[in-house]
Copies of this chain bind each other. A is one copy, B any other.
Amino acid sequence: MPARRSFSIIACVLASWQLVRSQPADLRTKVDQWVQANQRALVSSLVDLLSIPNVAADRENIRRNAMLLRDQLAARGFTAEILETAGNPLVFGEFHVPGATRTILFYEHYDGQPVNPRDWRQPSPFTPILRDGRMEDGAKEIPNGLTTLRTFDPEMRIYARSASDDKSPFIAFCAALDVMKALGIRPTSNIKLILDGEEEAGSPSLVPAISKYRDRLSADVMYILDGPLHPSGQPTVVFGARGNLAIELTVYGPKFALHSGHYGNWAPNPAMRLAQLLATMKDEQGRVTIEGFYTGVTPLTAEEQAMLRAVPDDPTSLTKLFGIASPEREGLSLQEALQLPSLNVRGLSSAFVGADARTIIPDKAIAAIDVRLVKETPADRMARLVRDHISRQGWHIVDREPDDATRAKFSKIVRIAARGGTNAYRTSPLLPISKQTVSALAGVFGQPPVQIRTSGGTVPITPFIEALGFPAMSLPIVNFDNNQHGENENLRLGHFFRGVTTFAAILTM
């Protein structure tokens, strides 16, 4: 009966907290001091959590994670419980603050990306190690650093799966609660947490959970504690994310590969025809030429433009880092580009290249495309536009391997498989809660946070945001260069420690 046990803890905790309800002027300094004194404990808590493997398919360890998280919340006076779903369990916690009129729902996920331990420069992704900086810059491991050091240089990094994505925000969030308790500062809002165990697997159980657990999930605003800060490293608020639509095109040539000598320039070549089809989709200036692709995307207001311009991007560094002479569309800043839907060829395949190349006419050619969506361009409409465009180019569209009759009838046959349509979301930065969030961070850090109108990537919880129906925004805390989703994922400790202040600011706004 964990829920009942938690209640008694809440009572005790609330009784001991002073009723300070406004953000203290020196909050940052006080939190910093507390964190400095408690670095050892914070790091230990994080290491404990990181040591439990958390690949979504690993049901047994996933549940171990969930139980630890529930217990951590319960220990802090939350009504904490494990919510069963058809997939991995959700962890839910609630903390009621008498007199508070606003309820905040915090979202995080406790599962991590699959791992291939051989690709990691450490024995196991689930045995965290400490380095004295960034591995790619030659930083060395500090043997036993995680168990012996009492304080940690902010440049040090913990290397482990989910160090950044997405376990550290939970520990920083708990620390924010702990420091507030220590300082006698009570949260200004009712607090709810929902912890997802399947985010890296597409969060299939989140939306179904709403109908089952509707009362628990109601709130005025949701903060998503996930993702990296802006590359500048400054505190960041993200008001939206692009959606994504994966489309795979398979163009059919002869039923089997033919000798390119015997039949070259007699039998049609699917690779060339695919290239010709793709070339109809974008002009030389990088503008997508599919009819209606940008429809509904209205020009930005002066205020919105100012917001984009205020983002401290560094295109010169980026082009240098990426080794590109210029962006795809000249004159479009990165932030401007992210306000538009994109069409990206993410993969091409037809027979073989390089040493494996053979003198053949391939039997088929495949292009994997992703279309990034903005709020004005929903997935279903964009899928239809792409389809209509292809049809207008004279292609016969199929949804499976063409049979002989189809092959005999149509010269240009393409199979279209559209998957993974996830819409974009965007919370207006002009809403009172948006402005309040910005101002809470500005108050604590002394300057406004970086405000991202639309981040380029796609978050699987967009359907959850849409279904909940109240404003949502992301409050990332981790370093940009965390090798998210790759091997050697890491967390810069300076970012981690500062995250405690970020969350304290929100909890006291």
Q: Which chain A residues have a beta carbon within 8 Å of chain B's beta carbons?
A: 241-242, 244, 246, 248, 252-256, 258-269, 271-272, 274-276, 278-279, 281-282, 284, 286, 288, 319-329, 332, 334, 337-338, 340-354, 356-362, 365-368, 370, 372, 402, 404, 407-411, 455-458
Cβ contact of A372, chosen from B260, B275, B370, cutoff 8 A: B260
Q: Given contacts A258-B322, A352-B368, A407-B323, is CB(A345)–CB(B456) below 8 Å?
A: no
Contact A349 B359 (CB under 8 A): no
A263 to B366, CA, bound (A): 23
A272 to B279, CA, bound (A): 7
In the complex, given contacts A265-B332, A276-B278, A346-B357, what are 12 additional A-B residue pairs having Cβ atoms less than 8 angstroms apart? A255-B323, A261-B455, A261-B456, A265-B286, A266-B328, A271-B345, A271-B346, A272-B281, A325-B408, A325-B410, A348-B353, A359-B458
Q: Given contacts A323-B254, A342-B264, is CB(A271)–CB(B372) below 8 Å?
A: no
Residue of B nearest to A260 (CB): B344
Contact B456 A264 (CB under 8 A): yes
Q: Measured between C-beta atoms, what is the minimum distance from A386 to chain B in Å?
A: 14
A411 to B142, CA, bound (A): 43
A340 to B261, CA, bound (A): 11
A342 to B261, CA, bound (A): 9
A114 to B194, CA, bound (A): 60
Number of copies: 2
Contact A244 B261 (CB under 8 A): yes
Give the residue among A261, A284, A402 with the most B Cβ atoms within 10 A.
A261
Q: Measured between C-beta atoms, what is the minimum distance from A401 to chain B in Å?
A: 10
Q: Measured between C-beta atoms, what is the minimum distance from A79 to chain B in Å?
A: 36
Q: Measured between C-beta atoms, what is the minimum distance from A68 to chain B in Å?
A: 30
Q: Measured between C-beta atoms, what is the minimum distance from A279 to chain B in Å?
A: 4
When distances are taken between beta carbons in the complex, the residues of chain B under 8 Å from A268 are 286, 324, 326-328
Cβ contact of A279, chosen from B255, B275, B344, B366, cutoff 8 A: B275
Contact A242 B255 (CB under 8 A): no
Q: Measured between C-beta atoms, what is the minimum distance from A474 to chain B in Å?
A: 13
